[in-house]
Every structure is written in structure tokens, then in C-alpha cells.
Structure 1
Amino acid sequence: MEDRIIRTEYSDIMQKSFIDYAMSVIVARALPDIRDGLKPVQRRTLYDMYELGIRYDRPYRKSARIVGDTMGKYHPHGDSSIYDCLVVMTQDFKKIVPLVDGHGNFGNIEGDGAAAMRYTEARLSKLTQENFLEDLDKNVVDFVPNFDETEREPSVLPVKIPNFLINGSEGIAVGMATSTPPHNLAEVIDAEIAYIQNDSLTTKDLMKYIKGPDFPTGGVVINKDELLNIYETGTGKIRIRGKVETEKGKNGHINLVITEIPYTMIGMGIGKFMADVAELAEKKITNDIIDISNQSSKEGIRIVIELKKDTDVDNFTNLLYKKTKLEDTFGVNMLAIDNGRPETMSLKDIMRACADFQFEIATRKYTTLLKKEQEKKEIQEGLIKACNVIDLVIEVLRGSKDRAMAKNCLVNGVTDGINFKSRESKAMAAQLLFTEVQADAILEMRLYKLIGLELEALIKDHEQTVANIYRYEDILESHESMSMVIQDELGKIKKEYQAKRKTVIDNRENAVYEEKPVEEIDVAFIMDRFGYAKTIDATTYERNKETIQAEFKYSFVMKNTGKICLFTSAGNLHTIKAMDLPQGKMRDKGVPIDNVSNYNASDETVILVASQSELNLYRLIFTTKSSMMKTVDGGEFDVSKRTVAATKLTDGDELVNVEVLKEQKTVILRTEDGYFLRFPVDTIPEKKKTAVGVRGMRLGKNDFVRDVYYLNDLEEKTVEHNNKKLELAHLKITSRDTKGTKVRI
């Protein structure tokens, strides 16, 4: 066959291919169907368990068996997705009504994962078996070929309850995501019954039954007034808080006990919450915390925070709401597949879709049952008629040469070839005229059916069949009758599976935390040459000042409410709150400075460390490697951001020196090639921190400023140069922006 070259626009092909891919992910993987509230992987897993006979009243089967069979028959997308789905359907802390009964380690609320599938076992829950899968044999839903067309699977399960709302759903597709909170089963069923009775009900009317979400973890929804808009639009944010109680602790302390957590904290969120609470104490945001412990067990959540005696509990609780995930938001986007299309649905839309589906499966169910009852009625009437003329029927059977001859006589009255005892029998046989179905039933009838009691039972069964036909026809012909049947069924499900609401729905004020004023005291900041920093008591510093200045690279006294400023070679200014540093003893190690700031030791070097309060009183002199210099008012560095640019650098340049200008009179620049230049400090102009500055010294090719020194009047300072001592005060004072002198000693 000759190759065919199709010329087309590349962008058109890409667009079509991406749309096809996106719709495949949306419909076949990520989003639930509004009718049964299940994603394809959930639907296939439950159906496979049903097919394998893993029922709620039978023994558990290995999860690996379920996963392997589901993957081989229906869901060829990897075992991990199927097992993850199976695990979630067993977890009562994620599903308000678990669909699978798990046996073994299926993970816990604190984020520990499930055991491998070869260790765990599962079976269908009773609710799932009776209300998700029970009517599959009654032609209530369409069956479609599986991925390789070797099996058939239901396109949707005949779920009798609005599962999309009850268990909620989360999924990320291409360009869209679904996030529906779980709801109380009894409330949802009540709302569904109310809608079936009156489909003109508004979302506001339906919310008289559905108060709001009902999370398996409990908690408190605090924005009740916003829920109506969320359920009318299908989108919004639900604010939830954990449940907090107080108890008397040891030694008069107060125990704050968290007994319920926000739904969003499931998993590693509990560990993160405890770390956040510990951080509040470490950063001295609060001094009320003595200890925190997780005492959760099978009985439920119990996180205990031990507080000091005089703690303002309400204020501290508000702090937890503000600074931790004890108060969080659940983003709602009730997106589902409706009539083959992804739609964001309101509460009424969901009720409408679920009610329509109930009527659809009820219609198909009772149509199938009616057909079966009509077939049964035909057979029963034939058997009763045959019993009334049993002698004649036996005469036909005995006189026939084969089954076909006997059946032809029973159905069509053809008596040719059949031996009868009399002409009367032959004439009567010609008038039997059974249907083909009745004739087959008569030919297969056993002799015990001729017993009197059996005949009576047959007549009673026929009466029941006639009553069933009348009932099914009434259900199919009367919308009101079908509506009553659906409502009765929903009522029975509610009665058997209803549970008390776990989540409180309320309006609560925003958490307001009033910070206690910090007592302002003097502390000493000290930092060694390895970058470990801390603060110590100011009196301790004064007593050991000479030792500290000898052992530590930077040290100064400041207020505990102040900030430390780090100027680096990259031209950055990093600020650190003194309260973010640990306060300890002189011999304590401290913390690495890059742990409490944005400073990165691998990319930059610390040039100067000073307190912000000191900088506000003076100017600073900046000197770069390329000899650019300027003075800047220290007030410009009183910033709120943790990191800002302290100066402007040209490409390839870096800061060599930053000095606080106090009583210095002259500055000496020293280059790598051994040139020295001494000139007055007051010849350096004052600029803004965003300026590059002016040239301090003319440099030779490939030469650069290596060191910067400052002198006061009559001050002597010695540096080592060419392995000899050089008195800087002996250098001649010249002008800025000259080459300087090469010193040879």
C-alpha cells in the first residue's frame, strides 16, 4: 500500500490530540459520575469484588487478588492506583460511609500508610453490596465492553443513594479538579425524599435537611452563613476548626485538649500541627506552652497541650487558629460527569440528577421484573390448565412417537400419528392449543406436580404472580407509585445506616490573637567565626566582655525586641529578629545563622553584622571589589523584609567592606597587587542604597581591592605586608580616585 501524506496545520493536530487526551482523563479517570458518585477505578474495583463473590457475609480475600483481577479485567492502569483506591474506600476517617470492609493495616488518620496488598484483606461492606450492586442482574444499567473487549462491565453502578454527596470526592483532571465534602447519610436521604416529593424545592429549601458538610473527623464549620452561596454555585470555601476542650492538668496547669481535627489535617497534618505548635514556643511567639503530646488512640484524637497556670486559654486558642492548621479551609468545587460532560453542580442539580437516576433504574428494574412475572404467569397458567386435563395430556404423550410430535399436538392441535384411546380424546387433543412456552413447561413437568398440595401451591404462586404483575404495572404506569417505592427504599436505607452528625455547623467570629507585650531588656548578640549565633544576658556579656570579644567574631549589646543586620558580599542585607535566636549561656553552641535567616553561606560571605538600632544613628561606608565607594544613611536599612538589596553592584562586582562611620577620618584601600591609597573619608559622597557609588581608587589591569582599613586622628594601626609590619599611619594622605602607591618593604 502506498504511503499517504496528509498535509495539515501542526497546531490543529496538537489541539485536537490534547483535547482528546484531556477528555479521556476527565471522563475515564479523574472525575466521578454524578449518578453513582464513583470514579471508574472505584466502580471497577467494587464490581470486580462482586463478581469474585467477595460479599460482606463471606470470608475476606487478599487485596492482591482483588487488585490483580481488577487490573487484568477492567482497569489496566497499574496496581498502585487500584490498591490506593481500595485503601481509601476502607478508611472511615476519609469516607463517612466506607464502601469496603478492610481486614489488616489500611493506614491511619496520622498519615501512616497501608501495609502492602499481599498482607491486607478486604470484602464488600453490607451497604455497598445491598445498595450499590444488588440489582445488576435486573438490566438496570448498561454494560459496555472492557478495554480489550473480552469482558463486559457496567457503565455505572445502580446506586440507590446520592453517594456523590454522602462520601464526597476529590480528583485532579486536566484543567479542572473536583472537591466535594462528605455529608451525613440521613440528611442527604431526607433531602432526596423531599426533592422527589416536590421537585420545585430550591437549594435553600433543601438546606433545611442538609445543614452542611459532615466530615468523618468532626470539627466545627464556622462560616454557616456562606454555605447557601456555596451550595447554590457549587464552589466556595468552607472554614473548619478542630474541637478544643480544657482540662485541669498537674500542679494547677491547664491542659488544652484537641479531640477533633479539621478534615484537611488527615495524614501528615497532625505531625505538622505539633511541629507548628512547638515552633510557636521556639520562636517565643508564646511563652505559655509547657509541653505538647499526641495521646491519640483507637478511641479517637487526643492532642494535649500543657499550658502555664495563668494562660489566657481563649487567646491561646485563637493563636492556634491563626498560626496553625487547627483552623483551615476546604475548597469546594462540586464537579462531576453529568450526561457525559463535566459540570459544576449546585445542591439542587445534584438532587435532580440523583432523583432522575433513581427513576431510570426503577423503571428498568420493574420493566425487567414485569417481563419475568408475565413469563412466569404464562407458564403457571399452562401448568394449571394441563393439570385440569392431565389424563388427556398423558394420553398425548404416551401416544406420540417423539417430543416434537407431542409438542406439535399441544401447541397446534395436530393429532396426526398419535395413538389415542378414543375419538373423543383425539377431538379434545385437537383443541388444547397451549403456547410454545407452556408446552415446553408441560413436557418438562415432573410427576410430583400432580400431587394435590403441589397443585395448590401452584395456584397460590399464580395468584401471587398476578398480584405482582398488577403491582409492577401500577409502578410503571404511575409516577406517584414509583415515587413512593423509591421513597420507601430510601427510608429503609436511612433507618439501617443512619448515624449522628459529627460536624457542628455554626457561625463563629474570626480568631483574634492579642500578643502580650514583650518586656524590653538588654541582651548581647554573639556569633562565632563558624556562623553559630545566640543571645546571652547583657550582664553576663559585660562580665566576660574581653573573653567574648577574643573568641567571637561579632558581639554587641542590643534590645531583645530589635533586629540584627547581616551585610554580605553579594550586596544583600539579611535581617533577623533577636527573639528568633535562642537565648542561652555563654558556652552554648547557638544556631547556624542561615537557619534563622535567608543567608546562604555557599553563595555569599558575611561582611558586617550590626544591630539595626545602631545603624539608625550613623552612616555606613560601602566598598566593592572594583573600588566603588559611597556612604549611606543607616536609616535606609530599617526595613521590614527579611532580605533586601543593601547596595547596587555592577556585573561581576562584590562587596569587600561595610563600615559604620563614627570617628574615622581616613580610609586606606589595599589591592591584591600591593597598592595602597589613603584619603579622607569626607571625600566619599553620600548616596542612596540603590546607587553604585563613586570610584575610590584607580586600579591596574586585573587588580582589585582586597582590604579596607580606617584610621582616626593620631591612631596607629599595623598590618602585615610582604611578611613585614607596615604602619598605616605612615602612609601619605592623597586624593580619592588616584592610583595609590605600591609599597615595597
Structure 2
Amino acid sequence: MFDMARRTTSPPPEDFEERIVDIDVSAEMRTSFLEYAYSVIYQRALPDARDGLKPVQRRILYSMNEMGLRPDRGHVKSSRVVGDVMGKLHPHGDSAIYDALVRMAQPFSMRLPLVDGHGNFGSPDDLPAAMRYTEARLSAAAMLMVQSIDEDTVDFKPNYDGQETEPTVLPSAFPNLLVNGSTGIAVGMATNMAPHNLGEVIAAARHLIKKPDATLEDLMRFVPGPDLPTGGLVIGLAGIRDAYETGRGTFRMRAKATVDNVTPRRKGLIVTELPYNVGPERVITKIKELVNAKKLSGIADLKDLTDRHKGLRLVIEIKNGFIPEAVLEELYRLTPMEETFGINNVALVDGQPRTLGLRELLRVYVDHRLDVVRRRSQFRRRKRQERLHLVDGLIVALLNIDEVIQVIRASDDSGAARARLMEIFELSEIQANYILDTPLRRLTRFDKLELDKEKETLTREIAELTAILSSEDRLNKVVSDELAEVAKTYGTPRRTVLLESSGVSRTAAVPLEVADDPCLVLMSSTGLLARTGDAAELAGDGERTVHDVLVSVVRSTVRGEIGVVTSQGRMIRVSVVDLPALPPSANPPSLAGGHPVAEYVALNPDEVVVGLGSLDPVSPGLALGTAQGVVKRVVPEYPANRDEFEVIGLRDGDTVIGAVELISEEHDLVFISSDAQMLRYPASNVRPQGRPAGGMAGIRLEPGARAIWFGSVDPARESRVITIAGSSTALPGTQVGGGKVSDYTEFPAKGRATGGVRAQRFLKGEDTLLLAWAGPAPAKAVSAVGKPVPLPEDLGRRDGSGVRLTHTVAAIGGALTGPGTEAAEEAPLF
């Protein structure tokens, strides 16, 4: 134990008797700390359970009401409000007052804002502007808090210097503590109360008024859980039930997110609501940290598209190959998109801090509101009784106006006149004074009628108020009806969705990424790309019903890569997982859900895609054919660190017309030229070359002719050769032409670099082939928009002429065979 002595540092005068006061340090510290703790608890940190306000909030609303800052008036500078509150009622610094003012104006902090702010009042991530830049006035809901405060509904106490008075509590026409919640840290205790829906809370309060013995289960039928200003999801209601019963509990808040297509190629998560007190910047920062630290995968991009019109909108783009729902679960687990709210319902009741459940909170408010309405009714009845007393005296004066005037004129002064009026007409001093102060113009016959009507009204109102004060049932009904009117006027739909449990397993049970299963990559004649399952899933019955045909197919895996070959000899890498997956039930498959190839590769002017190739180094290799008759087999040694590269060295003016992934060297390589010559020979006749090589002679072309089609055909399968002839002088795509379907076996195999054999005899007006194709039967043709075009059914002679078609053909492809065939197992099929 230590003692502390208080001494003067300068020598005392001779006539001054030195006094030393011994103080026990522990007692002094105990007393000072308790005084400080009481001050923080009662004067700063904890709300009153009746009006749900801390002292600073109550003083702000009261001062703004006294200043006349009502919703129908203009805004004033916030600094003016802060100065008035600090100077008269709250001498604890301007920052504390302004912080409380700002919070009451933020719609994301309070379910029913009490201050109508004008200017930058901040966001969940940013601080508000300084008080000199913002303006404020009371909101319409705040007027309910101070309603009838001048009717002796609440007690007043002196302010800190005794020169002003302030209310100890506001009348509070709605349960503000439950509706807007509260948060505060005192000494040795804290409060953290969640906001609720106004309509639900009032419904529960009215039920408690009607049935005072209502159980917690009864009240929770009206108030199932919090309703947060920022919406979102509440997961798990067990903690809420505990909080409503004991005053303490926890629940989980989740952001509201939906899965949608954010680009034609990718899906994403659209976040429109965040947990309470969580801002988008905080979420964005955390996601970026996790992605950079490689603790979170599957996110390609993150954009904040929030604005004043659409509200919160975070767009999280998901990489192809990742399951959006699984990524969302990871975001819930690792980021503030899921937070825990700990309810601690500590509030002041009769000046003492108490932890209250839902029923106790409603009971305290209902009792307060009953007391407010009772005191208001007493005040109104007293005022009406006083007015009725004056009206009765004035009526007596009007009925005896001549005698009254004579008495007044015969009196020496006002005191004598008052005494004689009281004596002669049996009036009270108040009535006599009122008669003497009434102008003569009021003492007319018309005023007598008005006074009679006013007396009748006052008598009726006094009777009504007396009935309310004399009956608890009538008083309860008045309070209940007023609460119902508040709910009708200011109630809003629930924003927060309550869920018993998440219903979704964690990522341990839900795979984060798409499995690397085998698949086929497809390209249609209209330039659509897609991926699907194994070749057996593509099997059809030989009668393709979809509009469009496949012009290139290559085998890969979902998380693999393929190459897109262009007419300029370039191969461009494309990730297979980026391609849309066709439904496995499609039989035969439809590429209506595919995406244009231009979304995946950037093409130069006059450059087109001619085929697909595998990037697997163990594949047989890629075969290319050019318009000048060059053929090349490419050694599958592609650079791993480049997204695009050349696969053939083209001569000036030459272009690639076909690219196909070889399955076997026993397959034929086929050229068809514009002058109707077809040449086929085994792929083994072409030696594989490196990427820079320019290839070798594939077909000998006559002067003026060019190759128009190149591909690979399995000679062991039933195949067809289709040619369509027309005029070289017609505009492309404008003539129908004559088509011919021939059996592939009628064309003899010849050596590489020879001239081939004739595939179609030209008729009058025909001098070139418009289109040609060779592949497995049956063949299908489509127009430029993917519609089917009938082909001749009879097989013509190898060098026969064609039959005029009904529509212009833009592309030709083959039909897939049935399941279980060798061809289905050896895809690609074209």
C-alpha cells in the first residue's frame, strides 16, 4: 500500500498553516475509475431501451427539432447543427457529434435513417466529407421520434451547465432500438444490436399489447430475424433464436450473388448485396490479395460497376474450367463476403445496463409508449379543460354583456373591475382576466355561436381523453392503432433473406475445377466453336436434323489446348475449357450453343479459319493443302511459350485452303481443283517437315486453275465426293450451280504431284467448280445461314455432269456414324 501526499512546492507564508492530506492510491483509483465507467456507460456508449438512442443521438435530434430543421424546411450546414449541440447539450467534442450525425444519415447503416443528409455522407468503405461541406435536416421518420415532445410526454433535466434543459428520453413513436439497432463500447460491457424490419417489429409490438403473456415463439412469428439495411443472406437461425431468448447470439451474413454470363464466353458471379458493415472495396482488396498469393483460383477478372442508379454491382469473372458455385463457396470462406454478426442486446433500463431478449425489448418499448400516450392524453385533457373554463366565462360575459360593460365602466381600475366581475357573475380570477383582455369586437352574436360550437367540441374531446385515461383497453388500442399507422406509412419490404442453413457443401465435396475429361472440339460451317464429350457421344443415326454442318473435328481434353489454323498459315492456341460445352444429351449434336471463332482468335483482313489441329506432341501431325497445290505434313513440335506461330512457309499469293489432323498414314490426302480435277494419294507419300518449311508439290495444276479443297479421307470407309459447278464470272454466293454426288472409290489413287482425274463435266455456262468436298457418307449441304440444302440422291459417274440445285450451297459436311463403329472411336471424322 502506497500513500500519496499533496504538498505545495513554494514555501507557505508565515500565517499559513501547512495542511497535508493523505490519500489512499487504490481508493482514489477505484473511485475515479468507477466515475469514469459510469459516465461512459450512462452518458455516451449505451442506448436507452425506450427510444433506442445514445445521449449524443438524442441531443442531435432534439436540437435539430428545436432549430426547426424539419423535412419541409431547407437543409443547413452540418457544422451549424454540431455547434448548437456541442454548445448547449453535449460538451464532448465536435467529432463525436458529427460521427453520430453521419451514421443517422447513412441508409447502409440504419434501416430507417433519422437524418436527411445532403452531400457526401460516406460509404461502407469511405469516410464522409467534413461537416463544413455537408448539410442536414431531420427525416420524416425522425419526426416520429420527437412527436408530441412539447406535450409533457417525457421528463426534462438540466443540461451540463444548468442553463438549458434536455429530454431524458424521446417519445419515440416506433421501436427505434430494434428497427435501427445500435453499437457501442462502454467500460466492461458493449452493445451490438442488429437492425430489423419496421413492419415486423411493430406487428410483434401490437401482438404483445393485445396479449401481454405472449411467448417468444409467438413473437418470432412476426419477427423471424434481423433485416439488415444492406440486404444479403442470413445463414442459420439457431443463433438468432438464442439472441432473442437470452440477448446474446451469433448469425452468419452472406453476400447475395448470382451466376450469370458476363461475356459470351465466360460465366461470372454478380454480387448485388454485401453483409452488413462490409463495403465493396474491402471485398475487392481481399480477393486481389488472395489471388496474388495463389490462395484463391478460378477468378479471371473483378470489376466494380456500382453506381447510384443500379446500386451495388460487383462482377467477378470466372475462368473457364472452374465451377462458379464452387468458387463462390471459396469466396464465402476466405473473404468478407461472409461475416459473423454477434448480437449483444445491452441497453439501459431504468438507468441500469441490462441484457435483453426480444420479448423484454418489446415490453420496455410498449410500456414507454403507453406512458407517453397517457401523459400526452393528460396534457391534452388539461389544456382543453383550461380552454373550456375560459370559454364558459366568455359565454357568461356575452349573455350579460350590458351588465359587464357597466361594471367595467363603473370600476376605478382593472383590479376593481376584476373583483366585481368575480363577485357579481361568480367567475374565477382567470376567467375575469380573460374577459378584461378580450377585445370588444369579439363580443358579437357571431362569436357567441362560435363559442358554443367550441364548447361542444371541447366537451367531446375531454370526454374522449377521459375515456382513454380511465380504461387500459382504450389506452392500449390508441397505442396499437398509432403503431399500425406508422407501419403503414413507413414500412418497407424485407431486404434480408433468412435461411436455416446454407444447403451447399464446402469445396471439399464440390470440385473447384472442371475435370480434365476427354472431349472433341467442333467447328461448324458457320464458324461456331464448341466442345463436347467423347466421340461416342456424338454418334447419331445418320440423319442430321440440326441446321449447320461440322467442317472440322479434333480430339482433345477439357483442360487441354488445340490450334486454330488460318488461311495465312498461322496456328493460334485456344484453351479448350474456354469453349462452350454442348449438352451431352444432344444426339446428334447441335452447335447452336457454340461461340464464333472470332471471339477466340484475332484474324487479319482477308484471313479465315480453315481447320483445327491438335497440339499434342504424340499426335500423327497436321496436314495442310494450299491454293497453289502445295501439300505439307507438319512435325508436331510446336513452341510451348507462344500463343501463335507459323506452320508453313507460304509463297507469295498462296493461301492455305485446308488443314486436317491425320489419324493414320494409310488415309488419303485429297486435292480438288477449280477445273474439276481430283487427286488422292496415301499420306505416307508426304514426308513430315518442320514448321518453317514450305511443303512440297501436292497436285499439278493447269494454268489458271487453283486448288479449292484439301482434306483427308479414310479409303476403308464408304465415302462420297461432292462437286458443284458454276460460272466464274458470277458474283460469289449468287448462283445455285449444278451439283453432283460421286462414289469415292470411282477415283483411282495416283502419285503425289500428278494432275489427278476429272470429277465433273462442265455444262454450258459452267467453267469452274464453286465448291467441292470429299468425306464419309452420307453428306449434307447447308446454305450461308446454316439451312439444309438437298443434294442429288443418285450417284453420278465420276466424270458426269451435275444436276441443278434448289438453293445456293455454302458448305458441305459429313454425317456421323452410329455408336460402336471404328470411325466413332477414331475421331476426327472429317
Fold shared, TM-score > 0.5 on shorter chain: yes
Q: Which amino acid aligns with 1:346?
A: G
1:138 corresponding residue in structure 2: 151
Distance (whole Å) between structure 2 residues aligned to residue 156 and residue 337 of structure 1: 11
> Taking structure 1 as reference, are residues 13 and 466 closer, same or farther at Cα in structure 2, changes over 3 Å only?
same
1:610 corresponding residue in structure 2: none
Q: Which amino acid aligns with 1:75?
A: H
Q: Which amino acid aligns with 2:235?
A: I
Contact residue 203 and residue 228 of structure 1 kept, 8 A: no
Q: Helix, strand or coil for the counterpart of 2:171?
A: coil
Q: Helix, strand or coil for the counterpart of 2:353?
A: strand
Question: Displacement, 1:300?
Answer: 1.1
1:308 corresponding residue in structure 2: 319
Do residues 63 (structure 1) and 78 (structure 2) align?
yes
Distance (whole Å) between structure 2 residues aligned to residue 486 and residue 20 of structure 1: 38
Q: Which amino acid aligns with 2:116?
A: D
Distance (whole Å) between structure 2 residues aligned to residue 455 and residue 511 of structure 1: 82
Out of 352, 375, 394, the position equivalent to 2:386 is 375
Q: Which amino acid aligns with 1:483?
A: N
RMSD (CA atoms): 2.0
Out of 445, 456, 459, the position equivalent to 2:449 is 456
Question: Displacement, 1:13?
Answer: 2.5
1:443 corresponding residue in structure 2: 436
Out of 199, 223, 235, the position equivalent to 2:212 is 199
Out of 337, 353, 357, the position equivalent to 2:368 is 357
Q: Helix, strand or coil for the counterpart of 1:265?
A: coil
Distance (whole Å) between structure 1 residues aligned to residue 514 and residue 401 of structure 2: 106
Question: Displacement, 1:352?
Answer: 0.8
Contact residue 92 and residue 98 of structure 1 kept, 8 A: yes
Question: Displacement, 1:516?
Answer: 5.2
Moved over 4 A (4+): 1-8, 515-520
Question: Displacement, 1:8?
Answer: 5.4
Contact residue 191 and residue 210 of structure 1 kept, 8 A: yes
Q: Helix, strand or coil for the counterpart of 1:228?
A: helix
Q: Helix, strand or coil for the counterpart of 2:146?
A: coil
Q: Helix, strand or coil for the counterpart of 2:391?
A: helix
Out of 294, 298, 302, the position equivalent to 2:304 is 294
Give a deviation string over 1:146-175, Cα, whole Å, max 9, x none: 111111111111111111111000101111
Q: Helix, strand or coil for the counterpart of 2:469?
A: helix
> Taking structure 1 as reference, are residues 347 and 4 closer, same or farther at Cα in structure 2, changes over 3 Å only?
farther
> Taking structure 1 as reference, are residues 490 and 320 closer, same or farther at Cα in structure 2, changes over 3 Å only?
same
Out of 86, 105, 122, the position equivalent to 1:90 is 105
Question: Displacement, 1:195?
Answer: 0.7
Q: 1:624-643, aligned counterparts within 5 Å? A: none
Do residues 15 (structure 1) and 30 (structure 2) align?
yes
Distance (whole Å) between structure 2 residues aligned to residue 67 and residue 456 of structure 1: 51
Out of 75, 79, 85, the position equivalent to 2:94 is 79
Q: Which amino acid aligns with 2:450?
A: A
Contact residue 264 and residue 330 of structure 1 kept, 8 A: no
Contact residue 259 and residue 300 of structure 1 kept, 8 A: yes
Do residues 471 (structure 1) and 464 (structure 2) align?
yes
Question: Displacement, 1:440?
Answer: 1.1
Question: Displacement, 1:34?
Answer: 0.6
2:523 corresponding residue in structure 1: none
Distance (whole Å) between structure 2 residues aligned to residue 358 and residue 328 of structure 1: 35
Distance (whole Å) between structure 1 residues aligned to residue 152 and residue 512 of structure 2: 69
Do residues 340 (structure 1) and 333 (structure 2) align?
no
- Structure 1: stretches of 5+ with no match in the other structure: 414-431, 521-583, 586-745
Q: Which amino acid aligns with 1:466?
A: T
Out of 176, 196, 203, the position equivalent to 1:163 is 176
> Taking structure 1 as reference, are residues 517 and 303 closer, same or farther at Cα in structure 2, changes over 3 Å only?
closer
Question: Displacement, 1:7?
Answer: 4.7
2:130 corresponding residue in structure 1: 116
Q: Which amino acid aligns with 1:379?
A: L
Q: Which amino acid aligns with 1:138?
A: E
Question: Displacement, 1:198?
Answer: 1.1
Question: Displacement, 1:371?
Answer: 1.0
Contact residue 234 and residue 251 of structure 2 kept, 8 A: yes
Q: 1:556-575, aligned counterparts within 5 Å? A: none
> Taking structure 1 as reference, are residues 46 and 252 closer, same or farther at Cα in structure 2, changes over 3 Å only?
same
2:247 corresponding residue in structure 1: 234
Distance (whole Å) between structure 1 residues aligned to residue 17 and residue 220 of structure 2: 66
TM-score (normalizing by structure 1) = 0.65
Contact residue 240 and residue 328 of structure 1 kept, 8 A: yes
Give a deviation string over 1:274-298, Cα, whole Å, max 9, x none: 1222233333344421101111111
Contact residue 321 and residue 511 of structure 1 kept, 8 A: no
Contact residue 216 and residue 263 of structure 1 kept, 8 A: yes
Percent of matched pairs sharing the same residue: 42
Question: Displacement, 1:407?
Answer: 0.8
Contact residue 323 and residue 513 of structure 2 kept, 8 A: no
Distance (whole Å) between structure 2 residues aligned to residue 234 and residue 3 of structure 1: 56
Q: Helix, strand or coil for the counterpart of 1:264?
A: coil
Give a deviation string over 1:647-679, Cα, whole Å, max 9, x none: xxxxxxxxxxxxxxxxxxxxxxxxxxxxxxxxx
Contact residue 109 and residue 277 of structure 2 kept, 8 A: no
Which structure has more helix as a fraction of its residues?
1
Question: Displacement, 1:518?
Answer: 12
Contact residue 318 and residue 513 of structure 1 kept, 8 A: yes
Contact residue 322 and residue 514 of structure 2 kept, 8 A: no
Q: Helix, strand or coil for the counterpart of 1:137?
A: coil
Do residues 317 (structure 1) and 328 (structure 2) align?
yes
Distance (whole Å) between structure 1 residues aligned to residue 99 and residue 32 of structure 2: 29
1:486 corresponding residue in structure 2: 479
Q: 1:602-617, aligned counterparts within 5 Å? A: none
Distance (whole Å) between structure 2 residues aligned to residue 68 and residue 122 of structure 1: 13
Distance (whole Å) between structure 2 residues aligned to residue 492 and residue 88 of structure 1: 26
Question: Displacement, 1:251?
Answer: 3.6
Q: Which has the larger radius of gyration?
A: 2
Distance (whole Å) between structure 2 residues aligned to residue 350 and residue 5 of structure 1: 52
Distance (whole Å) between structure 2 residues aligned to residue 334 and residue 511 of structure 1: 32
Q: Which amino acid aligns with 1:293?
A: K
Q: Helix, strand or coil for the counterpart of 2:268?
A: strand
Distance (whole Å) between structure 2 residues aligned to residue 272 and residue 40 of structure 1: 31
Give a deviation string over 1:372-408, Cα, whole Å, max 9, x none: 1111111111111221111111111122121111111
Give a deviation string over 1:338-382, Cα, whole Å, max 9, x none: 110111111111011101101111121111111111111111111
Distance (whole Å) between structure 2 residues aligned to residue 36 and residue 341 of structure 1: 15
Do residues 179 (structure 1) and 192 (structure 2) align?
yes
Q: Helix, strand or coil for the counterpart of 2:271?
A: strand
Contact residue 319 and residue 511 of structure 1 kept, 8 A: no
Distance (whole Å) between structure 1 residues aligned to residue 88 and residue 282 of structure 2: 40
Question: Displacement, 1:6?
Answer: 5.2
Q: Helix, strand or coil for the counterpart of 2:269?
A: strand
Distance (whole Å) between structure 1 residues aligned to residue 18 and residue 117 of structure 2: 56
1:408 corresponding residue in structure 2: 419
Contact residue 274 and residue 292 of structure 1 kept, 8 A: yes
- Structure 2: stretches of 5+ with no match in the other structure: 1-15, 517-639, 642-830
Contact residue 78 and residue 134 of structure 2 kept, 8 A: yes
Out of 20, 35, 40, the position equivalent to 2:55 is 40
Question: Displacement, 1:84?
Answer: 0.8
> Taking structure 1 as reference, are residues 160 and 5 closer, same or farther at Cα in structure 2, changes over 3 Å only?
farther
TM-score (normalizing by structure 2) = 0.58
> Taking structure 1 as reference, are residues 485 and 278 closer, same or farther at Cα in structure 2, changes over 3 Å only?
same
Contact residue 79 and residue 132 of structure 2 kept, 8 A: yes
Q: Helix, strand or coil for the counterpart of 1:15?
A: helix
> Taking structure 1 as reference, are residues 209 and 516 closer, same or farther at Cα in structure 2, changes over 3 Å only?
closer
Distance (whole Å) between structure 2 residues aligned to residue 518 and residue 371 of structure 1: 78
- Which deviates more, 329-338 or 314-323? 314-323
Distance (whole Å) between structure 1 residues aligned to residue 498 and residue 513 of structure 2: 35
Question: Displacement, 1:226?
Answer: 3.1
Q: Which amino acid aligns with 1:308?
A: K
